[in-house]
Amino acid sequence: MKRLLGVVCALVAMRAGADTLFDVKATVNRLAAKTPIHATFALQRNVKTAGRFANDTTARTLSVEVTHDANGVSFVIPQPLLDKASQESHTHAEDNAAQSTIDSISPGSIVDAIDFRDRFISMVEGRTVTEEKHVVFRGKPARLLVLKLSSVKRKHKNSVEIGESKSDQRMNLWIGDDNLPLAAEQTEKTTAGFMMIKATHEGRTSYTFAHTADRFFVARVETNGSGSGLGQNFEESSVQTVTLH
């Protein structure tokens, strides 16, 4: 009887969590990001590889000014960075750091960062709420949702899959009393292999969210990851920020 009662309570809690997540998605979906904004998008990224095929360390830092208005999203690459890339080209520099930094600018990432509504809804879609509880987050009352990705193996059309792959993805999502997300932390562990060939990857991404009257954006994203396979190891880390002006 006690065991049955425990199962019933767990199911009730999961249902309540699912209702909360539905309310969160509905609240975020109402923020249509129509008011024009100007912001600074900055990114720092470091990658280190070591092993049989490559030993390398790269570091990239970029900062661009972004505007989002009725005409769409536009961003400005700083002139000093353009000048440095031009100088590298003229001197045939071996390390084309400036040009590599320009090439690393991802318009899609910038668009998502300043209007994270659709990206957030996609990020939590298909996840199951396993726990909901009241907590204190950064000195203020909040609710914590613990989510797990429902594993669904999808086979791509006209493809042949060799070996097996296992992935465990979990997310902690902190939300305020107004049902707007405050922060999230996502962890992922993936292992794949075929016969004697093995590969692993572990990653952690932390999000700090913010909002205006009609805009939901991600103010800070920190990512750390590492992996190995085929005698090669890699480590990566990045910090992305958005500052509204």
pTM, two decimal places: 0.81
Instruction: Reduce the DSSP state of residue 115 to 3 states and report it.
Output: coil
Is the predicted pLDDT of residue 165 greater than 50, yes or no?
yes
Q: What is the pLDDT of residue 164?
A: 60
**Is 103 inside a domain boundary?**
no
**Is 77 inside a domain boundary?**
no
Percent of the chain clearing pLDDT 90 (strictly above) = 53
**Is 142 inside a domain boundary?**
yes
pLDDT in tens, 88-105: 888 766 667 888 888 888
pLDDT in tens, 192-212: 766 556 777 789 999 999 999
- C-alpha distances in Å from residue 58, one per residue of 32, 54, 86, 100, 236: 37, 12, 20, 10, 10
Q: Which domain holds residue 57?
A: 2-31+38-65+108-244
Question: Bigger pLDDT: 194 or 162?
Answer: 194
Count Cβ atoms below 10 Å from residue 186 Cβ, excluding itself: 19
What average pLDDT score do residues 35-59 get?
87
Question: Bigger pLDDT: 38 or 2?
Answer: 38
- Number of domains within the chain: 1
**Is 83 inside a domain boundary?**
no
**Is 102 inside a domain boundary?**
no
What average pLDDT score do residues 34-63 get?
88
**Is 91 inside a domain boundary?**
no
What average pLDDT score do residues 213-230 get?
90
Is the predicted pLDDT of residue 72 greater than 50, yes or no?
yes
**Is 75 inside a domain boundary?**
no
**Is 89 inside a domain boundary?**
no
Is the predicted pLDDT of residue 64 greater than 90, yes or no?
yes
pLDDT class of 7 with cuts at 50, 70, 90: very low
Q: What is the pLDDT of residue 96?
A: 76
Instruction: Compute the CA torsion angle 80, 84, 90, 95 (nearest 10 deg).
Output: -170
